[in-house]
Every structure is written in structure tokens, then in C-alpha cells.
Amino acid sequence: MATVLDASIVGCWLLPDEMHATADKARTLLLSARGSVPRLWWFEVRNLLLVAERRNRIDVMQMRAGLALLDEIPVDIDHAPDSGAIINLARQHRLTIYDAAYLELARRKSLPLATLDAALISAANAEQVALV
């Protein structure tokens, strides 16, 4: 089943000190269908690696391995966000625009959302968006 993946999920795959059952389940789902992500995901997950390197959570070799893994994750980048819906979701649920973009994509495409973000989980529940 296709799934919307947020950066918190991918962070579990990239950082050796992070693990979560939801991230494992999302990875398993990618075996049968491509993931779906908003445009900002490309930048967000690479920034996640850079910040981890700056904080000495990973070294240069782990950064390279993480970048290589990112290129292998089977995702489709969505290029048609509904700007009005994103802003409304952010307002209604007190989300960042970034988090609202993941929620809007999952809602618009009727896909489950894979996230570890508590505010985003709460908003998905309120919007009746399935979660991984």
C-alpha cells in the first residue's frame, strides 16, 4: 500500500540511534508500493542528515551512506499541493506549513500517513487520515 512518509520516519532509517516500530512498518510497506512525499521532503531529509553530522550523531561516512540510501527510497514527489488546504490545515491544527503539507497530501490522495510527530498524529486523527 502506498504511504505518505514524513522526515521523522526516514530519520529512523538514517540515524543509528533512532528506531521505532512505525518506521519499520513503513519500510515494509515500501516493499509493495512506492511512497509519496511533498516537495519539501527532499530538502528536509537531507537537512536532517546535515544537522545530525553537525551534532556528531553521525560521521562523514554515515552521511555518505545516508545520502545513498535516500536516493534508493522508492518515493514519488508530489508537485501539486493544494496551497489553500495546507494553510487551512496548519491554522486549524496549529501545525507548521511543513507538517500540514504531509497531512494535505495524505488526505488528498487518501493514503495513510507515516509519522512520529505527535501534533501531526493528532491532526491526522482529527481529519480521519489513516496512520501507519
Task: Give the HSE-up count for residue 3: Cα atoms under 13 Å, Cβ half-sphere.
Answer: 26
What pLDDT sits at residue 28?
Answer: 94
- 3-state helix vs strand vs coil in the chain, percent to 5: 60, 10, 30
CATH number (domain holding residue 31): 3.40.50.1010
Number of domains in the chain: 1
What is the full DSSP assignment across 14-27? H-TT---HHHHHHH
In a structure prediction context, what are the per-residue pLDDT tens digits for the chain, which is 132 residues long? 799 999 999 999 999 999 999 999 999 999 999 999 999 999 999 999 999 999 999 999 999 999 999 999 999 999 999 999 999 999 999 999 999 999 999 999 999 999 999 999 999 999 999 999
Number of C-beta neighbours around residue 112 at 10 A: 18
Domain contains 52: yes
Domain extent, residue 47, equals 3-126
What pLDDT sits at residue 116?
Answer: 97
Domain contains 131: no
Domain contains 90: yes
